[in-house]
């Protein structure tokens, strides 16, 4: 079941890439496995998928422990400073850095654990929703310049969680604005900063995000089915 879902998502990713005139390799499909059991992750692994996304540190750590095979674990959810130590050497990419204090904690723990570079994305609240984490677009440059000074924290790009809307077309403006912001920051050539990645697009809107230039989509429900938080 989940394998068929993944194949379906894969063909939609391919179609969106084609519409946008982009090679398929430009877009990383991250299977968001939060709340889902390890057995389902193993089924998805059989397709050759290596990139999985989790939003809770503890859940990610226990899944890493249970699944011994090396995978690329993306931390996509809000990260508390006191949890940084558990994942600084385990996440292939932390998508949700939105403050200097958090980045400083990552720096500190990276040194302790001997991690040369911790790759991160800066989370931007592009639609300025009160309920969402992330910094405002206008604050991004300053934060990037500050974090760039931390030798063991490597900025790779930007991430956003777009509003939950019925019509994904409504999010196109936010994806376009994200891409412009990424391109502006990239043009500044800030030393130590690699502004190549854009992490945006989820089950509801990943095709629009691909059309607007995202390099990573985070897809949960369309692959693993609805999440049941009551269990
Ligand atoms: C849960 C989650 C996703 C996946 O959402 P779906 O709508 O199920 O695809 C993507 N990004 C983040 C940050 C999430 O927390």
Distinct helix (H) and strand (E) counts, the chain: 9, 8
Q: Are 164 and 204 in contact (CB under 8 A)?
A: yes
First vs last Cα of the chain: how many Å apart? 21
Residue 67, token pair as written in the block: 């699944």
Q: Say whether 33 sits in a helix, a strand or coil.
A: coil
Looking at the whole model, is its pTM more than 0.85?
A: yes
Indicate which residue's Cα is closest to atom 6 of ligand 1.
Answer: 220
Picking from 11-15, 94-98, 129-133, which range would have the lowest pLDDT averaged per residue?
Answer: 129-133
The 10s digit of each residue's pLDDT in 74-119 is: 999 999 999 999 999 999 999 999 999 999 999 999 999 999 999 9
Determine the atom of ligand 1 nearest the C-alpha atom of 202: 9
Q: How far is CA 118 from CA 93, 155, 159, 163, 216, in A?
A: 7, 8, 16, 28, 18
If pLDDT is split at 50, 70 and 90, which confidence band does 229 have? confident
Q: State the Cα–Cα distance between residues 103 and 148, nearest whole angstrom.
A: 10
Residue 164, token pair as written in the block: 């939950």
How confident is the model at residue 230, as a pLDDT?
63
Does residue 99 have its Cβ closer than 6 Å to ligand 1? no
Q: Are 74 and 93 in contact (CB under 8 A)?
A: yes
Q: State the Cα–Cα distance between residues 46 and 15, nearest whole angstrom.
A: 23
* Mean of pLDDT values over 15-30: 98
* Torsion, Cα of 165, 170, 171, 177 (10° steps): -150
How confident is the model at residue 136, as a pLDDT?
96
Does residue 128 have its Cβ closer than 6 Å to ligand 1? no
Pocket test for ligand 1, best of 200, 220, 228 (most atoms within 8 A of CB): 220
Q: State the Cα–Cα distance between residues 171 and 118, nearest whole angstrom.
A: 30
The 10s digit of each residue's pLDDT in 137-179 is: 999 999 999 999 999 999 999 999 999 999 999 999 999 999 9
Q: What is the DSSP letter of 135?
A: B
Q: What is the average pLDDT score of the chain?
A: 97
How many Cα atoms sit within 13 Å of 19 on the Cβ side? Answer: 13
Question: Angle at CA 161, nearest 5°, toward 155 and 165?
Answer: 160
Does residue 220 have its Cβ closer than 6 Å to ligand 1? yes
Determine the atom of ligand 1 nearest the C-alpha atom of 221: 8
Does residue 165 have its Cβ closer than 6 Å to ligand 1? no
* 188 Cα to the center of ligand 1, angstroms: 30
* 76 Cα to the center of ligand 1, angstroms: 8
Q: State the Cα–Cα distance between residues 96 and 229, nearest whole angstrom.
A: 22
How confident is the model at residue 7, as a pLDDT?
97
* Mean of pLDDT values over 127-139: 94
Does residue 32 have its Cβ closer than 6 Å to ligand 1? yes
The 10s digit of each residue's pLDDT in 183-211 is: 999 999 999 999 999 999 999 999 999 99
Q: State the Cα–Cα distance between residues 124 and 206, nearest whole angstrom.
A: 17
* 26 Cα to the center of ligand 1, angstroms: 20
Q: State the Cα–Cα distance between residues 66 and 51, nearest whole angstrom.
A: 16
């Amino acid at each position: 079941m989940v394998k068929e879902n993944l194949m379906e998502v894969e063909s939609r990713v391919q179609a969106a890439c084609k519409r946008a005139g982009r090679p398929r390799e430009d877009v990383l499909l991250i299977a968001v496995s939060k709340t889902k059991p390890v057995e389902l992750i193993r089924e998805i692994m059989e397709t050759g998928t290596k990139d999985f996304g989790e939003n809770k540190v503890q859940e990610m750590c226990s899944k890493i422990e249970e699944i011994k095979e090396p995978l690329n674990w993306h931390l996509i959810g809000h990260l508390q400073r006191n949890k940084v130590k558990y994942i600084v050497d385990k996440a292939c990419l932390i998508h949700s850095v939105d403050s200097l204090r958090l980045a400083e904690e990552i720096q500190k723990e990276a040194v302790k654990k001997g991690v040369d570079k911790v790759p991160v994305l800066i989370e931007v609240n592009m639609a300025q929703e009160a309920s969402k984490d992330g910094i405002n677009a206008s604050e991004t440059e300053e934060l990037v310049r500050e974090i760039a000074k931390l030798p063991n924290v490597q900025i790779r790009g930007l991430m956003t969680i777009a509003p939950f809307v019925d019509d994904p077309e409504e999010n196109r403006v936010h994806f376009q604005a994200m891409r412009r912001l990424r391109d502006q920051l990239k043009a500044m050539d800030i030393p130590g900063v690699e502004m190549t990645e854009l992490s945006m697009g989820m089950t509801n809107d990943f095709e629009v995000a691909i059309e607007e230039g995202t390099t990573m989509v985070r897809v949960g429900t369309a692959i693993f089915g609805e999440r049941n938080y009551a269990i």
